[in-house]
Structure 1
Amino acid sequence: MIEIPSRLEGKAFQLYKLEQQLKPLGYTIGGNWDYDHGYFDYKIADESGYQFLRIPFKAVDGQLDSHGTTVEIGRPFLLSHQYQSGLDDHADVGNLGAAFNQFSEPQDSDATFPETYVSVGKVLVQELERRLLD
């Protein structure tokens, strides 16, 4: 994980409006959100796994599944997930289990981030700052 300091840190936005601005740029709300926090993820590459720019946010007014929720942006960071090849050691058996757990566990959920993409991540953060703050 590589943190990228940003002018976005500590800034508050309505989650719905923020989502409307970020989705067209290629950001998605990551799957591991909770009622009080979550992440916008931007997939940078898929070199020996997946490399993401992750923008954390936390609810400051309401819960993430509520209408009109306000969130505060945390420090962006770069993250690399390296997935194992082959079958998952802990795969669910049966149709119902497989429907909810289709993917292999990460071989390394905090793998080394390729240096070539660090500058890409910094440029993406600068682009977000311009779009959301200026």
Structure 2
Amino acid sequence: MIELSSKITGTTFKLFKLEQELKPLGYVIGGNWDYDHGSFDYKIANEVGYHFLRIPFEAVDGQLDSEGATVELGTPFLLTHKYQVGLDDNVHVGNVNASFNQFSEPEDPDATVPTKYVDMGKSLIIDLEERLLH
């Protein structure tokens, strides 16, 4: 994980407004959200794992599933999940277990972020700052 300094850190927005701004750019609300916190994730690549720019947020007024919730953005960071290779090899039709266990746990949920994605993450942050702060 690599934190990226940004002018958006500590800013507040209506969650609905953020969704309208970020979803068209390719950001999604990550599956790890709860009623008081969550994140917007941008998948940079899926080369030898998944590489994300994550923008965490916390509810400061209301709960995330309520209308009009206001959130404060945290420090953005780059994250790499390296997944196990070969778990889907030799899967046979009729393998009932495969239909229930199709998603493997990460081999390394906090793998080293490749250098080439650090520059891309910094560029994405600049684009976000321009979009959200101007």
TM-score, normalized by length of structure 2? 0.89
Work out the CA distance in 2 between the residues paired with 1:40 and 1:85: 27
Q: CA deviation at 1:94?
A: 8.8
Work out the CA distance in 2 between the residues paired with 1:122 and 1:73: 16
Q: CA deviation at 1:87?
A: 3.1
Give a deviation string over 1:52-106, Cα, whole Å, max 9, x none.
Answer: 0000000000111111000000000000000112339xxx9597xx2xx641000
Question: Which runs of 5 or more residues in structure 1 are unaligned?
Answer: none
User: Which SS does the other structure have where 1:109 is aligned?
Assistant: strand
Partner of 1:19: 19
Partner of 1:35: 35
Work out the CA distance in 2 between the residues paired with 1:94 and 1:82: 20
Partner of 1:118: 118
Partner of 1:3: 3
Q: Output the amino acid matched with 2:46.
A: D
Work out the CA distance in 1 between the residues paired with 2:98 and 2:86: 18
Structure showing greater Rg: 2
The reply to whether residue 77 of structure 1 matches residue 90 of structure 2 is no
CA RMSD of aligned residues (A): 1.7
Question: Which runs of 5 or more residues in structure 2 are unaligned?
Answer: 89-95
Work out the CA distance in 1 between the residues paired with 2:65 and 2:10: 21
Q: Output the amino acid matched with 1:37.
A: H
Percent of aligned pairs with the same amino acid: 68
Q: CA deviation at 1:28?
A: 0.3
TM-score, normalized by length of structure 1? 0.89
Partner of 2:127: 127
User: Which SS does the other structure have where 2:130 is aligned?
Assistant: helix
